[in-house]
Chain A
Amino acid sequence: MNGRTASGGRIDRAQPLRFSFDGQWYEGFAGDTLASGLLANGVHLVGRSFKYHRPRGILAAGSEEPNALVTVRRDAARVTPNLRATQVELYDGLQAISQNRWPSLRRDFGRVNDLLAPFFPAGFYYKTFMWPKKAWHSLYEPVIRRAAGLGEAPTLADPDRYAQRYAHCDVLVVGAGPAGIAAALAAADSGARVMLCDEQPEFGGTLLGDDSAQIDGTAGLEWVARATATLRGNPRVTLLSRTTAFGYFPHNFIGLNERLTEHLAAPSPGRQRERLWQVRARAVVLATGAIERPLVFPGNDRPGIMLAGAAQTYLNRYGVRVGNRAVIVTAADAAYQAALDLHAAGVVIAAVADVRANPTGALPDAARRAGIDVLPSSTVLGTDGALRVSRISLGRVENGAVRSAPAFNCDVVLMSGGFTPSVHLFSQSRGKLAWNDALQSFVPGESAENERSAGACRGVFDLADVVADGTAAGAAASPEPSRPTRLVVQHTVRADAGFLGALPSTTPPPKHRAFVDWQHDVTTKDLALATREGFQSIEHVKRYTTTGMATDQGKTSNLNAMAIVAQKLDIPIPKVGLTMFRMPYTPVTFGSFAGISRGDLFDPLRITPTHEWAVAKGAVFENVGLWKRARYFPRPGEDMHAAVARECLAVRNACGIFDASTLGKIEVVGADAAEFMNRLYINNWTNLGVGRSRYGILCRDDGFIYDDGVVARTATDRFHVTTTTGGAPRVLAMMEDYRQTEWPELKVWLTSTTEQWAVIAVQGPQARAVLEPLIDIDISAATMPHMSVARGMICGVPMLLFRVSFSGELGFEVNVPADYGAAVWEAIHAAGQAHGMVEYGTEAMHVLRAEKGYIIVGQDTDGTVTPDDAGLTWAIGKTKSEFVGKRSLDRASMKAPNRKQIVGLRTRDPRLVLEEGAQIAAKAGQTPPMELIGHVTSSYASAVLGHSIALAVVAGGRARMGQTLYVPMPDGDLEVEVTSPVFYDPTGARING
């Protein structure tokens, strides 16, 4: 069966193409879509429906298509599911596969769902699969997910490149139909920078499917070609075809998805596949047109039943007769033009069944003159045909009653319920929609942005008005007002009103279901059930029945659904309200959104000056925020445990070298620097001498620890503040907040210096011996005691040297300009070899600090820990009347003895390392719900101590020293003893060595 006409259409008959669908090869032409190619070969059955697995055909010719979802496969990695066959452009060798069927489209096992339909009413998953509760995850959900489905995601990584681009323009015009082109011409004429985009491969919109009008003295499509050439010749105009405006965001920020290679048989390797445009437009003109509405009648979903305008487009644009014998069911004049066009192309029009009582006017009269049988006051009682419609049973409405009328054999049924303005983008822009009673449609009301709608998308349907509306919108949107010439349009005037809701039917209602939402299989019965069960708000009806919630966003179904709900509730349609339209207008690939942000470019990477050195040493890295930090340096045969134990013992017994460059660093400078630090940190800073440092704690005003770090006073008016690795940005932001907004009178300036300094920690009994020969200042214990700071030179490089320790050993932190970091590191490392120095990573650093009971903010604290809870009351400046957090710390509840306090834990079994995060109970042998008094925050095997250690927060913990507590685990309680958090060298003799 070949539906291709002998001539005509916008296909290139000199370029035949081969394509396959479900393994069967067909022939089409350049310019075809997959849908038109299939229809030319007589294929209507293209999919199985989402829920009932009903056979479905092609309903539409554009992006509103709900049924014809296919997977297009180029190779194993280039598999794109859920594409609308009406938008897939044919190329030679294209392979498409149908979805949601097994084993085949014609014999789908899932069609059993259709027979079981009485068990799947609206909201069935809320009712049917509730018990037993456990079965949901293991049984019901997986089975339902398999049965109700769309295409399958590709299993290989996408090998293609996706681009992203920002653009600015004076006027963005969305939609290149007659209104959009007229708007772009008018705006460009006034000198504006214009962008014009359209989702289709060529401009022209509705004119591509119906070229019966004359615009500006020439055929419509000739005018389109001329206008496009004019616009293309204007350097201030950007034309984008195959580009969907999918999202309208605040302040005229529009997302466009441009498809660059999808239509090519063999895209050149490396070419960008899609481009995501992020456009900031001064003004937007929406010329998004209107979508033909299906009619809701029993059995309206069989393959071969499609929109009248779609059939007309397939004929005029693609040279395809969608059938041989058609019955047209309509409530609008537009379908008569389709009838006339198809009739002229040799399709038998068995009848035009018009819902209206008295269809008159130019088009119905022309149809009658052509000898087409027009049946007024018609309705549809049912259809027949298993995989393709074969017969339609009509009814006739007389005095409000429905009587049966003749049935017709046919192979296509073409329907038109009128046109629904496409207000999706307008609604996304938060513009207010207004109900237009004459048009029986929602149309754009008050705009929320600098935006204008033009043409059919705002209910202007007559072509002459559409073009004039576009011209006016384009001129008004331009920054320089202009008076564009009015384009003369000659065409047949149509008086389209249309029909909403379900067509009248017999009582009791017929057996066949009448579908409202094709893609989600929502029927009139589902909507009626929802209203019967008490759902009144359209938002609730939508969620309960899932009408309009499929990937097509209810483009063909929303208005009919609302009208049916309004009728059931006996309220006017505008009272039902409209659900929110969401982006994207049509689905957009993840690749487009991700752009280049994948693989190595997924996130920025921060590396320290010694990174390359650590890589060469075979370090294992961990991610700390965006930083890559060396976690440990395994030697041949070592696992992490062995490497960390060796690194820890080396620091305790000789010395180790550690890259601490990731520490946040903030330079606080100014005459009031000390006062600023006093107000912010809990510590006292006025009595800190130049050349000394102190462990500082920063609380928020709620009294809880926010950050900590060593702070050095490097001059009377200068502090070098260090923060936690992850905390630097938020600490600087908090400092800036108080500096700028609370204490603007203070003379103080803040500068982030995190990346200016490389910080090389040299820790262990031999640290001084290693460093002494390399530096030009005296670092003896007498001259440079613990917590002192000095400037000097190391290896000829200026240095800020801290005598400081996060390991509990004699320790220094060598700060040098970051660019010298690697060289100085290597020099110290070389010098250290004679002293048994090893490089160590963050894991050993964590063990060493935990052995000393040093907390890590964010690990041992969680935003509910006060300085006292952490055992750090000693750090609070006793003489200070005020600092951030003090007032909160003075509240009685913040001093309650039973607050959770940081303590140490020792397991009864010394080899057992507790799980971090494990809960702690005072009583043994509890079953859930248990009484829990705290949790483990840090836990390690300590090589130097020969047993495991843990830090924990425990209610009233400091009063529980020596008590036995229990860590309940799946296999039973683990016994632990509460200890001091300082496990190693409690007197601090080593640190002062």
Chain B
Amino acid sequence: MLLIVCPYCGKRPEVEFTYGGQAHLVRPAKPAELDDQTWAEFLYMRANTKGIYAERWRHARGCGRFFNALRDTTTDHFIATYKSGEPQPQTGAAAGRPS
């Protein structure tokens, strides 16, 4: 079971969280102005990254807040978690063993 650091509550076990898919997708402000293809891209197309992936989690059985995380999909290790609305942290040497 993973340990996930909720930016609001701290380190908690995975069972307290629900997964929210790819992060930093912005819902278009005026969907009506988009053509079908662009709308479909927003609705359905998601990255399937091998490596560091920015994704959303929700501390559903805790504070209830959504937040974002950087996770290495090859190791399941979290590199960073951060609040919604904050920019994605730069990664580099950050990927490493969990403490």
Q: Cα distance A450–B56 when bound, in Å? A: 26
- Cβ proximity bits A454-467 to B, threshold 8 Å, 1 near / 0 not: 00000000000000
A742 contacts B3, C-beta separation under 8 Å: no
- Cβ proximity bits A473-514 to B, threshold 8 Å, 1 near / 0 not: 000000000000000000000000000000000000000000
A741 contacts B32, C-beta separation under 8 Å: no
Closest B residue, CB atoms, query A255: B1
CB contacts (< 8 Å) of A737 on chain B: these are: 20, 58, 66
Choose, from A216-224, A783-791, A883-891, A933-941, the stretch at the interface: A883-891
Choose, from A245-253, A520-528, A813-821, A952-960, the stretch at the interface: A245-253
CB contacts (< 8 Å) of A701 on chain B: these are: 27, 43
Q: Cα distance A447–B1 when bound, in Å? A: 18
B58 contacts A736, C-beta separation under 8 Å: yes
CB contacts (< 8 Å) of A742 on chain B: these are: 27
Which residues of B are in contact with A by a Cβ distance under 8 Å?
Answer: 1-3, 13, 18, 20, 27, 30-32, 34, 36, 39, 43, 56, 58, 60, 64-66, 75-77, 84-85, 97-99
- Cβ proximity bits A870-893 to B, threshold 8 Å, 1 near / 0 not: 000000000001100011101100
Closest A residue, CB atoms, query B36: A891
A803 sits at the interface (CB 8 A): no
Assuming the contacts A250-B2, A450-B98, asked whether A736 and B31 have C-beta atoms less than 8 A apart, the reply is: no
Closest B residue, CB atoms, query A251: B3
Closest A residue, CB atoms, query B39: A887
CB contacts (< 8 Å) of B64 on chain A: these are: 736
A448 contacts B97, C-beta separation under 8 Å: yes
B31 contacts A882, C-beta separation under 8 Å: yes
B66 contacts A886, C-beta separation under 8 Å: no
Q: How far is the CB of B91 from chain A (nearest CB, A)?
A: 18
Interface range for A: 20 to 34
B98 contacts A886, C-beta separation under 8 Å: no
Q: Cα distance A891–B3 when bound, in Å? A: 42
Q: Cα distance A449–B98 when bound, in Å? A: 7
Closest B residue, CB atoms, query A883: B31
CB contacts (< 8 Å) of B84 on chain A: these are: 740-741, 744
Q: Cα distance A251–B72 when bound, in Å? A: 13
Q: Cα distance A864–B66 when bound, in Å? A: 28
A740 contacts B65, C-beta separation under 8 Å: yes
CB contacts (< 8 Å) of A890 on chain B: these are: 32
Assuming the contacts A733-B58, A744-B84, asked whether A447 and B97 have C-beta atoms less than 8 A apart, the reply is: yes
Q: Cα distance A219–B72 when bound, in Å? A: 49
Q: How far is the CB of B16 from chain A (nearest CB, A)?
A: 14
Q: How far is the CB of B41 from chain A (nearest CB, A)?
A: 12
Closest B residue, CB atoms, query A448: B75
Closest B residue, CB atoms, query A732: B64
Closest A residue, CB atoms, query B34: A887
Q: How far is the CB of A702 from chain B (nearest CB, A)?
A: 6
Nearest first, the 6 A-B pairs at minimum CB distance are A887-B31, A251-B3, A740-B66, A253-B1, A250-B76, A742-B27
Q: How far is the CB of B45 from chain A (nearest CB, A)?
A: 13
Interface residues of A in 72-118 (CB under 8 A from B): none
A744 contacts B85, C-beta separation under 8 Å: yes
Interface residues of A in 210-259 (CB under 8 A from B): 249-253
Interface residues of A in 880-937 (CB under 8 A from B): 881-882, 886-888, 890-891
A887 contacts B76, C-beta separation under 8 Å: no
CB contacts (< 8 Å) of A733 on chain B: these are: 18, 58, 60
A251 contacts B98, C-beta separation under 8 Å: yes
A263 sits at the interface (CB 8 A): no
A694 sits at the interface (CB 8 A): no
Q: How far is the CB of A382 from chain B (nearest CB, A)?
A: 48
Which residues of A are in contact with B by a Cβ distance under 8 Å?
Answer: 249-253, 278, 280, 430, 447-450, 701-702, 733, 736-737, 740-742, 744, 881-882, 886-888, 890-891
B98 contacts A736, C-beta separation under 8 Å: no
CB contacts (< 8 Å) of B2 on chain A: these are: 250-251
CB contacts (< 8 Å) of A702 on chain B: these are: 43
CB contacts (< 8 Å) of B77 on chain A: these are: 250, 448
Q: Which of B3, B31, B56 contacts A741 (CB 8 A)?
A: B56
CB contacts (< 8 Å) of A448 on chain B: these are: 75, 77, 97
A449 contacts B36, C-beta separation under 8 Å: no
A280 contacts B98, C-beta separation under 8 Å: no
Q: Cα distance A592–B2 when bound, in Å? A: 21
CB contacts (< 8 Å) of A249 on chain B: these are: 1
CB contacts (< 8 Å) of B31 on chain A: these are: 882, 886-887
Closest A residue, CB atoms, query B44: A702
B76 contacts A881, C-beta separation under 8 Å: no
Q: Cα distance A737–B31 when bound, in Å? A: 18
CB contacts (< 8 Å) of B30 on chain A: these are: 882
A887 contacts B58, C-beta separation under 8 Å: no
Q: Cα distance A802–B97 when bound, in Å? A: 57
Knowing that A450-B99, A702-B43 touch, tell me 7 more A-B residue pairs with CB under 8 angstroms.
Answer: A251-B1, A253-B1, A280-B3, A448-B75, A881-B32, A882-B31, A887-B34
Q: How far is the CB of A371 from chain B (nearest CB, A)?
A: 55
8 examples of A-B residue contacts, CB within 8 angstroms = A251-B98, A736-B58, A736-B66, A737-B66, A887-B32, A887-B34, A888-B39, A891-B36
Closest A residue, CB atoms, query B33: A887
Closest B residue, CB atoms, query A703: B43
CB contacts (< 8 Å) of A888 on chain B: these are: 39, 43
Q: Cα distance A447–B96 when bound, in Å? A: 11
Q: Cα distance A548–B67 when bound, in Å? A: 43
CB contacts (< 8 Å) of A449 on chain B: these are: 97-98
Q: Cα distance A42–B60 when bound, in Å? A: 61
Closest A residue, CB atoms, query B23: A741
Q: Cα distance A887–B43 when bound, in Å? A: 10
CB contacts (< 8 Å) of A736 on chain B: these are: 58, 64, 66
A250 contacts B43, C-beta separation under 8 Å: no
CB contacts (< 8 Å) of B76 on chain A: these are: 250
CB contacts (< 8 Å) of B32 on chain A: these are: 881-882, 886-887, 890
Q: How far is the CB of A734 from chain B (nearest CB, A)?
A: 11
Q: Cα distance A515–B18 when bound, in Å? A: 48
CB contacts (< 8 Å) of A886 on chain B: these are: 31-32
| Interface-central residue, B20, B85, B98, by most chain A CB under 10 Å | B98
Closest A residue, CB atoms, query B1: A253
Closest A residue, CB atoms, query B26: A742
Q: Cα distance A542–B2 when bound, in Å? A: 30
Q: How far is the CB of A71 from chain B (nearest CB, A)?
A: 33
Q: Which of B1, B34, B36 contacts A250 (CB 8 A)?
A: B1
CB contacts (< 8 Å) of A740 on chain B: these are: 65-66, 84
CB contacts (< 8 Å) of B3 on chain A: these are: 251, 253, 280
Q: How far is the CB of B93 from chain A (nearest CB, A)?
A: 16
Q: How far is the CB of B72 from chain A (nearest CB, A)?
A: 11
CB contacts (< 8 Å) of A881 on chain B: these are: 32
Q: Cα distance A47–B65 when bound, in Å? A: 57
Closest A residue, CB atoms, query B42: A701
Q: How far is the CB of B4 from chain A (nearest CB, A)?
A: 9
Q: Cα distance A280–B13 when bound, in Å? A: 10
CB contacts (< 8 Å) of B43 on chain A: these are: 701-702, 888
Q: Cα distance A250–B76 when bound, in Å? A: 8
CB contacts (< 8 Å) of A252 on chain B: these are: 98
Closest B residue, CB atoms, query A743: B27
Closest A residue, CB atoms, query B4: A251
Q: Cα distance A249–B20 when bound, in Å? A: 22
Q: Cα distance A972–B83 when bound, in Å? A: 61
Closest B residue, CB atoms, query A736: B64
Q: Cα distance A250–B58 when bound, in Å? A: 19
Assuming the contacts A250-B2, A280-B3, A882-B30, asked whether A741 and B66 have C-beta atoms less than 8 A apart, the reply is: yes
Q: How far is the CB of B8 from chain A (nearest CB, A)?
A: 12
Q: Cα distance A138–B76 when bound, in Å? A: 43
CB contacts (< 8 Å) of A447 on chain B: these are: 97
Q: Cα distance A967–B38 when bound, in Å? A: 41
Q: How far is the CB of A523 from chain B (nearest CB, A)?
A: 37
Q: Cα distance A280–B11 when bound, in Å? A: 12
Q: Cα distance A702–B44 when bound, in Å? A: 9
CB contacts (< 8 Å) of A253 on chain B: these are: 1, 3
Q: Cα distance A740–B64 when bound, in Å? A: 10
CB contacts (< 8 Å) of B20 on chain A: these are: 737
